[in-house]
Amino acid sequence: MSTFENQGYRWRETYFVLFDINNRPTVSQVEAALAVLNDRFELQNLQADDEGRFESVTLMSPDDFAALDICFLQGDEVDEQVAQLNKDMRKSGEDKSQLKKLAAANARLDVLHFQDVLSGMAGGAITKDGEGDEDELDEMFDPSALLIVLDALVELTEGVAVDPQTGTLV
Protein backbone atom coordinates (compact mmCIF):
# COMPACT_ATOMS: atom_id res chain seq x y z
CA MET A 1 0.00 0.00 0.00
CA SER A 2 1.32 3.42 -0.93
CA THR A 3 1.42 6.06 1.77
CA PHE A 4 -0.64 8.20 -0.63
CA GLU A 5 -3.55 5.90 0.26
CA ASN A 6 -3.10 6.52 4.01
CA GLN A 7 -5.16 9.57 5.02
CA GLY A 8 -3.02 10.00 8.12
CA TYR A 9 -0.12 11.18 5.95
CA ARG A 10 0.34 14.14 3.63
CA TRP A 11 2.86 14.08 0.76
CA ARG A 12 5.41 16.86 1.17
CA GLU A 13 8.20 16.35 -1.36
CA THR A 14 9.98 13.89 -3.64
CA TYR A 15 13.70 13.41 -4.17
CA PHE A 16 15.50 11.12 -6.60
CA VAL A 17 18.61 9.00 -6.31
CA LEU A 18 20.01 8.53 -9.83
CA PHE A 19 22.53 5.77 -10.45
CA ASP A 20 23.95 3.27 -12.94
CA ILE A 21 21.70 0.21 -13.26
CA ASN A 22 24.73 -2.01 -12.63
CA ASN A 23 24.64 -0.72 -9.03
CA ARG A 24 20.99 -1.68 -8.45
CA PRO A 25 20.88 -3.12 -4.93
CA THR A 26 19.12 -6.25 -3.81
CA VAL A 27 16.22 -5.97 -1.42
CA SER A 28 18.47 -7.46 1.29
CA GLN A 29 21.08 -4.75 0.76
CA VAL A 30 18.47 -2.00 1.00
CA GLU A 31 16.95 -3.56 4.10
CA ALA A 32 20.37 -3.82 5.77
CA ALA A 33 21.39 -0.27 4.81
CA LEU A 34 18.16 1.27 6.13
CA ALA A 35 17.88 -0.89 9.26
CA VAL A 36 21.18 0.35 10.68
CA LEU A 37 20.35 4.04 10.25
CA ASN A 38 17.95 4.36 13.16
CA ASP A 39 16.51 1.65 15.37
CA ARG A 40 13.20 3.53 15.40
CA PHE A 41 12.74 3.26 11.62
CA GLU A 42 10.14 0.67 10.68
CA LEU A 43 10.41 -0.99 7.26
CA GLN A 44 7.18 -2.20 5.70
CA ASN A 45 6.15 -3.78 2.41
CA LEU A 46 9.66 -4.63 1.20
CA GLN A 47 9.31 -5.74 -2.43
CA ALA A 48 11.81 -7.44 -4.74
CA ASP A 49 11.71 -8.61 -8.34
CA ASP A 50 12.12 -12.30 -9.25
CA GLU A 51 15.90 -11.96 -9.00
CA GLY A 52 15.86 -10.42 -5.51
CA ARG A 53 16.61 -6.89 -6.70
CA PHE A 54 15.01 -3.99 -4.86
CA GLU A 55 11.63 -2.73 -6.08
CA SER A 56 10.07 -0.76 -3.21
CA VAL A 57 9.70 -0.22 0.54
CA THR A 58 7.84 2.03 2.97
CA LEU A 59 9.88 3.41 5.84
CA MET A 60 7.95 4.72 8.84
CA SER A 61 9.64 7.15 11.21
CA PRO A 62 7.13 7.94 13.97
CA ASP A 63 9.56 10.04 16.01
CA ASP A 64 10.03 12.33 12.99
CA PHE A 65 6.28 12.37 12.16
CA ALA A 66 7.30 11.04 8.76
CA ALA A 67 7.09 8.19 6.29
CA LEU A 68 9.04 7.52 3.09
CA ASP A 69 7.93 5.51 0.08
CA ILE A 70 10.97 4.41 -1.92
CA CYS A 71 10.60 2.75 -5.32
CA PHE A 72 12.84 1.76 -8.22
CA LEU A 73 12.41 3.01 -11.80
CA GLN A 74 14.27 2.66 -15.07
CA GLY A 75 13.50 3.36 -18.71
CA ASP A 76 12.77 6.28 -21.00
CA GLU A 77 11.50 8.62 -18.27
CA VAL A 78 14.76 8.25 -16.34
CA ASP A 79 16.90 8.58 -19.49
CA GLU A 80 15.12 11.79 -20.51
CA GLN A 81 15.41 13.26 -17.02
CA VAL A 82 19.13 12.48 -16.80
CA ALA A 83 19.77 14.03 -20.23
CA GLN A 84 17.96 17.22 -19.20
CA LEU A 85 19.71 17.42 -15.83
CA ASN A 86 23.10 16.90 -17.50
CA LYS A 87 22.35 19.70 -19.93
CA ASP A 88 21.18 22.06 -17.18
CA MET A 89 24.00 21.29 -14.73
CA ARG A 90 26.95 21.47 -17.10
CA LYS A 91 26.85 25.24 -16.73
CA SER A 92 26.12 25.27 -13.00
CA GLY A 93 29.60 24.60 -11.63
CA GLU A 94 28.53 21.40 -9.83
CA ASP A 95 31.21 18.99 -8.60
CA LYS A 96 32.71 17.16 -11.61
CA SER A 97 32.64 13.74 -9.92
CA GLN A 98 28.94 14.19 -9.15
CA LEU A 99 28.24 15.23 -12.75
CA LYS A 100 30.11 12.13 -13.98
CA LYS A 101 27.89 9.90 -11.83
CA LEU A 102 24.84 11.74 -13.09
CA ALA A 103 25.89 11.26 -16.72
CA ALA A 104 26.20 7.48 -16.15
CA ALA A 105 22.79 7.19 -14.48
CA ASN A 106 20.11 5.09 -16.14
CA ALA A 107 18.07 4.08 -13.08
CA ARG A 108 16.35 5.95 -10.27
CA LEU A 109 15.01 5.54 -6.78
CA ASP A 110 12.06 7.81 -6.05
CA VAL A 111 11.99 8.86 -2.40
CA LEU A 112 8.60 10.31 -1.51
CA HIS A 113 8.47 12.09 1.84
CA PHE A 114 5.20 12.17 3.81
CA GLN A 115 4.25 13.97 7.02
CA ASP A 116 2.19 12.28 9.74
CA VAL A 117 -0.78 14.66 10.05
CA LEU A 118 -2.62 12.51 12.61
CA SER A 119 0.03 13.46 15.15
CA GLY A 120 -0.75 17.02 14.14
CA MET A 121 -4.37 16.36 15.05
CA ALA A 122 -3.33 15.18 18.49
CA GLY A 123 -1.31 18.34 18.95
CA GLY A 124 -4.15 20.55 17.70
CA ALA A 125 -2.37 21.60 14.50
CA ILE A 126 -4.93 19.90 12.27
CA THR A 127 -8.60 19.04 12.65
CA LYS A 128 -10.49 15.86 11.74
CA ASP A 129 -11.64 17.41 8.45
CA GLY A 130 -8.00 17.86 7.41
CA GLU A 131 -7.96 21.60 7.94
CA GLY A 132 -5.29 23.03 10.11
CA ASP A 133 -2.65 25.55 10.86
CA GLU A 134 0.02 25.10 8.20
CA ASP A 135 2.57 26.98 10.31
CA GLU A 136 2.10 24.52 13.18
CA LEU A 137 2.35 21.56 10.79
CA ASP A 138 5.52 23.02 9.29
CA GLU A 139 7.02 23.35 12.77
CA MET A 140 6.36 19.64 13.37
CA PHE A 141 7.81 18.68 9.97
CA ASP A 142 11.28 17.14 10.39
CA PRO A 143 13.26 16.32 7.22
CA SER A 144 16.00 14.42 9.09
CA ALA A 145 14.68 10.95 8.18
CA LEU A 146 14.63 11.93 4.51
CA LEU A 147 18.19 13.28 4.59
CA ILE A 148 19.57 10.27 6.45
CA VAL A 149 17.91 7.83 4.04
CA LEU A 150 19.02 9.79 0.96
CA ASP A 151 22.64 9.64 2.13
CA ALA A 152 22.42 5.88 2.70
CA LEU A 153 20.84 5.25 -0.71
CA VAL A 154 23.43 7.41 -2.47
CA GLU A 155 26.20 5.45 -0.79
CA LEU A 156 24.56 2.09 -1.53
CA THR A 157 24.02 2.82 -5.24
CA GLU A 158 27.10 5.02 -5.77
CA GLY A 159 24.64 7.52 -7.22
CA VAL A 160 23.62 11.12 -6.75
CA ALA A 161 20.62 12.65 -4.98
CA VAL A 162 18.58 15.21 -6.87
CA ASP A 163 15.90 17.63 -5.77
CA PRO A 164 13.63 17.58 -8.85
CA GLN A 165 11.76 20.71 -7.77
CA THR A 166 14.92 22.78 -8.10
CA GLY A 167 16.87 20.54 -10.48
CA THR A 168 19.88 20.57 -8.16
CA LEU A 169 22.12 17.91 -6.66
CA VAL A 170 21.69 17.40 -2.93
Give the chain's mean pLDDT.
87
Say if residue 36's pLDDT is above 60.
Answer: yes
Q: Which residue has the higher pLDDT, 140 or 3?
A: 3
Task: Return the pLDDT at 125.
Answer: 45
**Strand ranges (E), the chain:** 9-19, 42-48, 54-61, 66-74, 107-116, 160-163, 168-169
Q: Which residue has the higher pLDDT, 139 or 94?
A: 94
Say if residue 96's pLDDT is above 90.
Answer: no
Q: Rounded to whole angstroms, what are the CA distances from 84 to 16, 70, 102, 103?
A: 14, 23, 11, 10
Q: Which residue has the higher pLDDT, 94 or 31?
A: 31
Say if residue 122's pLDDT is above 60.
Answer: no
Lowest mean pLDDT among 2-11, 32-41, 55-64: 2-11
* pTM confidence score: 0.86
Which pLDDT tens digit goes with each residue over 45-69?
A: 999 999 999 999 999 998 888 999 9
State the average pLDDT over residues 141-165.
93
Please give the single-letter amino acid code of residue 26.
Answer: T
Task: Return the pLDDT at 138.
Answer: 56
